[in-house]
């Protein structure tokens, strides 16, 4: 019997799985994984499905990680939070502010669960998870052993981590540990946050500004299905950046510590005049070009075709080739998003 995955992906794509299991404990997660492997079926672990695109029906078991719980310990200089992987991320941000523990406010309204946050090394408005992540707890589903990876072991990169590589296939994140310093320093480098006064701004004011920016510029998945930023902001060499700037002086660019330069994918797409562009039921969002939306009963193929078109337009204009941030899931599991839209 097939089960609909539509409630478990924020794109709202109609797809099915052979079986769906809601796991509220580590044991339930391990049992569901073991049973599926014993049946020689593929298995996929999901949080809230906020960063996936189902390309077709999934032929295995989708395990929905709903392991809950927030534990707080306090030291002289910081708060330490141990957070179950199934906790909603934005509700966690609200919880920390309500309890006087700032540090997550720039990451407000990022969709998904706490357990998904290390996989992508989520980030927004100048803050990334790696800035505040102390450790990640995961379970080796083959041996049943628990592993705690500290910050350096997670190998965080730009929208990247070890959980996309060596720890992708048979490890499940069950909790994350966050360290929030008591000496709070606002990060006001991006967007409308730059207008705030760093000398007297409060964490709540930063939170409110971030929420306002996201709600006014980004679509509500409950109205138009989407997976947030569809493409990564491209990182190019300093030489390539210099060549681009000679032709496009206004291009937003952000030098990185290693000498590379990060560009704003949304700006590149916008320069191709693609806001509002539609293919089938999929469209480029009219306010934020970085977001592709399910505007009218889009199929996954509509989204793939639109992503391909956007990538080609940007590539031909700037010689910069965008890569999806969203994970693409085929019938047996994750496939290369770049190859799919190339």
Three-class secondary structure assignment of the chain: CCEECHHHCCCCCCCEEEEEEEECCHHHHHHHHHHHHHCCCCEEEECCCCCEEECCCEEEEEEEECCCCEEEEECCCEEEEEEECCCEHHHHHHHHHHCCCCCCHHHCCCCCEHHHHHHHCCEECCEEHHHCEEEEEEEECCCCCEEEEECHHHCCECCECHHHCCCCCCEEEEEEEEEEECCCCCCCCCHHHHHCCCCCCCHHHHHHHHHHHHHHHCCCCCCCEEEEECECCCEECHHHHHHHHHHCCCCCEEECCCCCEEECHHHHHHHCCCCCCEECCEEECCCCCCEEEECCCCCHHHHHHHHHHHHHHHHHHHCCCCCECCEEECCCCEECHHHHHC
Lowest-confidence segment of 88-92, 112-116, 168-172, 311-315 by average pLDDT: 168-172
Which of these is catalytic: 48, 105, 295, 325? Answer: 325
Q: In whole angstroms, what is the distance from residue 23 CA to residue 14 CA?
A: 22
Q: Give residue for tokens 């998945």.
A: 221
* Overall average pLDDT of the 115-136 stretch: 96
273's CB contacts (< 8 A; 6+ apart) are none
pLDDT band at 23 (very low <50, low <70, confident <90, very high): very high
Which among 85, 82, 91 is positioned nearest to 172, based on CA atoms? 85
User: Tens of pLDDT along 198-225?
Assistant: 999 999 999 999 999 999 888 888 889 9
Q: In whole angstroms, what is the distance from residue 65 CA to residue 114 CA?
A: 10
Decide which of 158 and 18 is more confident: 18
222 is catalytic: no
325 is catalytic: yes
User: Tens of pLDDT along 2-11?
Assistant: 699 999 999 9
Length of the chain measured in residues: 342
C-alpha dihedral, 87 to 93 to 94 to 95, nearest 10°: 60
* Overall average pLDDT of the 55-70 stretch: 97
pLDDT value at residue 176: 98
User: Which tokens in the block code for residue 306?
Assistant: 């639109």
User: Tens of pLDDT along 211-263?
Assistant: 999 998 888 888 899 998 999 999 999 999 999 999 999 999 999 999 999 99
The pTM (predicted TM-score) of the whole model is 0.90
Q: Mean pLDDT over all residues of the chain?
A: 95
pLDDT value at residue 1: 52
Instruction: State CA 162 to chain mean position distance.
Output: 15
pLDDT value at residue 191: 83
Decide: residue 153, CB within 10 A, 0-12 exposed, 13-18 middle, 19+ buried: middle
Which of these is catalytic: 117, 229, 300, 311? Answer: 229
Which of these is catalytic: 19, 66, 159, 214? Answer: 159
In the beta sheet, which residues pair with residue 279?
282
Q: In whole angstroms, what is the distance from residue 237 CA to residue 311 CA?
A: 19
327 is catalytic: no
* Overall average pLDDT of the 277-297 stretch: 96
């Amino acid at each position: 019997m097939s089960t609909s995955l539509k409630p478990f992906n924020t794109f709202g794509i109609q797809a099915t799985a052979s079986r769906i299991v809601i796991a509220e404990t580590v044991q339930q997660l391990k049992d569901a994984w073991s049973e599926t492997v014993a049946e020689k079926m593929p298995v996929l672990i999901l949080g809230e499905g906020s960063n996936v695109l189902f390309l077709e029906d999934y032929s295995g078991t989708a395990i929905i990680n709903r392991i809950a719980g927030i534990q707080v310990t306090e030291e002289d200089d910081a708060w330490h939070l141990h957070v179950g992987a199934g906790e909603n991320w934005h509700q966690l941000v609200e919880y920390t502010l309500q309890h006087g523990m700032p540090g997550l406010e720039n990451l407000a309204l990022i969709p998904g669960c706490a357990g998904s946050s290390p996989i992508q090394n989520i980030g927004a408005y100048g803050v990334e998870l790696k800035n505040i992540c102390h450790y990640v707890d995961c379970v080796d589903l083959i041996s049943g052993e628990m592993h705690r990876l500290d910050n350096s072991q997670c190998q965080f990169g730009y929208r990247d981590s070890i959980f996309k590589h060596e720890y992708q296939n048979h490890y499940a994140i069950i909790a994350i540990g966050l360290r929030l310093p008591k000496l709070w320093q606002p990060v006001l480098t991006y967007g409308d946050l730059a207008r705030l006064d760093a000398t007297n701004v409060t964490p709540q004011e930063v939170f409110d500004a971030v929420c306002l920016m996201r709600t006014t510029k980004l679509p509500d998945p409950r109205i138009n299905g989407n997976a947030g930023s569809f493409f990564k902001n491209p990182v190019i060499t300093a030489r390539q950046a210099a060549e681009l700037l000679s032709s496009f002086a206004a291009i937003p660019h952000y030098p990185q510590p290693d000498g590379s330069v990060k560009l704003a994918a949304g700006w590149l797409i916008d320069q191709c005049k693609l806001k509002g562009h539609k293919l089938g039921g999929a469209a480029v969002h009219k306010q934020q070009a970085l977001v592709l939306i399910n505007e009218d009963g889009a199929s996954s193929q509509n989204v793939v075709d639109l992503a391909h078109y956007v990538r080609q337009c940007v590539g031909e204009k700037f010689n910069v080739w965008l890569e999806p941030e969203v994970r693409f899931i085929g019938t047996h599991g994750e496939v290369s998003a770049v190859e799919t839209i190339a």
